[in-house]
Homo-oligomer: A and B are copies of this chain.
Amino acid sequence: MIKAAILGATGYAGSELVRILSAHKEAELVWLASHSHAGESFSTVHPAFRGICDQVLEDDDIVKAAEAADVVFLALPHGIASGLVSADILSRTVIIDLGADFRLHDADVYESWYKVTHNSKELLPRAVYGLCELHRSEVASARLIANPGCYTTCSILTLYPLVRAGLVEECGIIIDAKSGTSGAGRSAKMGSMYCEVNESVKAYSITSHRHTPEIEQELSLAAGETVRVQFTPHLIPMDRGILVTCYARMRPGAGQEDVSRAYHEAYDGERFIRLCDAPPETRHVAGSNYVDISWKLDGRTGNIIAMGALDNLVKGAAGQAVQNMNIAFGLDEAEGLGLVPGAVV
C-alpha cells in the first residue's frame, strides 16, 4: 500500500485528489495538509466527504509529509513548491507537483512568464514533465514529477500528433480555449463570484497566459523545431471542463488520411484518450480522466480544426497526478481512474 500525502488538500485540485485516492486500491491517504484550515477535519471544510475522509488537516510541512508518505502531492500556488522541494526531500519521497514550478525546463522562461524567482533551479534537470502519454518512460523512474497544467494537457494532446507528424505549419497555430470556473481555484475573489461569472463569457490573459510557454515547450519538442502558439483562454459559466478549439494550416499535400493515421499512431492503445467522430463536449468527460479528441479539415480554407475536451480537475490536474503516481510506482496505470463520466446528466 503506497502512502500518500497532500499539501494544499482543500483547494479544488487537492480535494479532487482526495476524491480519487479515497477509492484507490493501492494507495492510502496518510497525511493531509492545508495552511488555512490546519486543525480542522477535511470533511468540515468539504462536507461532501463526511464519512469518506474525516482526517484532521495538518499545516503545510513538506518535511513531515515526506516522512509520512512515499509520495507527496503538492497542490500549492506557483512559486511555493520551488522553495520547498530539495534534493534531500527527493531522497525520501516522490514529489508530484501540481503547480507550475518544475514544468518549464528553462528557468529563464519560467521567471519571465511568472515574474517570480525560481528557488531551486538545480532541481530542474531532475524534473520530468508528467504528461503521461508523452513521457511515460521518464515518469516511471522519476522522483520529481511536474504535473502539467489543465489547459496545457488539453492543448498539447490535441495538437501533438499533427505537429509530430509535420502535417501542419508550425507558425500560426491558434488555440482558443474555454474553461469552467473551478480552474480559477478556491479562493474568494470578486471575479469568481457567482453573479460575476453566471450568464456571461469572456476572454482573459490575452497574449499572456502562463500556460503558453508550457504548450510551446512540448510542441517544439515534438516538432523538432520551435513552435509558437496563440493561446487565448475564456471563462465559461460551468464548474468543470476545458474545451480547446485549435486552428492550424495544413501543410501542402497533407490530407484527411494522414491526419487520421497520425492520431491513431499516437493514441491507439491509450486508455484515457478517445478519438471521436463528433465534436467533443465537456460533459462527456466530466468527472473522468478521459480526453476526447476530434478534428475536421476544411478544404475551403486549408485549415484543420482540432478539438479536445477534458475535465480540468481530473485529467487536467488530480487524475493525471494519480496516473503519474501509478506509473512511477509500477501500478496499473488506470488504477483508481476508472471514473465513469458523470455527465449523461
Q: Is A331 interfacial (CB 8 A cutoff)?
A: no
Q: Which residue of B lies closest to A178 (CB)?
A: B201
CA distance A282 to B186 in the complex (A): 19
Name the residue in A172, A199, A228 with the highest tally of chain B Cβ atoms < 10 Å from its Cβ: A199
Please, how many residues of chain A have a CB less than 8 angstroms from a CB on the other chain?
Answer: 86
Partner of A298, one of B207, B282, B297, B338: B207
- Residue in A204, A243, A245 whose Cβ sees the most chain B Cβ within 10 Å: A245
Contact indicator B201/A182 (Cβ below 8 Å)? no
Does A166 reach chain B (CB closer than 8 Å)? no
Most chain B CB within 10 A, of A204, A207, A288, A303, is at A207
Asked if B279 contacts A344 (CB within 8 A), the reply is: no
Chain-B contact segment, one of A76-84, A188-196, A257-265: A188-196
Q: Which B residue sits closest to A280, measured CB to CB? A: B202
Contact A206 B284 (CB under 8 A): no
With the chains together, A343 CA to B280 CA distance in Å? 22
253-306 of chain A: CB within 8 A of chain B: 274, 276, 278-288, 290, 292, 296-298, 300-301, 303, 305
Does A307 lie at the interface of the complex (its beta carbon under 8 Å from any beta carbon of B)?
yes
Chain B nearest CB: distance from A272 CB in Å?
A: 9
CB distance A16 to B344 under 8 Å?
yes
A341 x B203 contact (CB < 8 A):
no
Nearest chain B CB to A316 CB, angstrom units: 12
Give how many copies assemble into the complex: 4
A206 interface neighbour in B51, B202, B237, B305, Cβ under 8 Å: B305
Are the C-beta atoms of A285 and B239 separated by less than 8 Å? no
Residues of chain B within 8 A of A203, CB atoms compared = 243, 245, 279, 305, 307
Q: Answer yes or no: A41 CB below 8 A from chain B CBs.
A: no
- Check: A230 CB closer than 8 A to any chain B CB: yes
A-B contact pairs, 17 of them (CB 8 A): A48-B288, A48-B341, A48-B344, A49-B341, A178-B234, A181-B195, A181-B198, A182-B195, A182-B345, A188-B189, A192-B193, A199-B283, A200-B282, A201-B281, A202-B281, A207-B300, A230-B301
Which residues of chain A have a CB within 8 Å of any CB of chain B? 12, 15-16, 19, 22-23, 46-52, 172, 174, 176, 178, 180-182, 186, 188-190, 192-204, 206-207, 228-230, 232, 234, 236-241, 243, 245, 247, 249, 274, 276, 278-288, 290, 292, 296-298, 300-301, 303, 305, 307, 309, 313, 338, 340-345
New A-B contacts (17) at CB < 8 Å, excluding given A200-B281, A200-B286, A202-B279: A19-B342, A49-B340, A49-B341, A172-B249, A192-B193, A194-B237, A199-B199, A199-B240, A200-B283, A201-B236, A201-B243, A206-B305, A207-B298, A207-B300, A234-B243, A237-B237, A237-B238
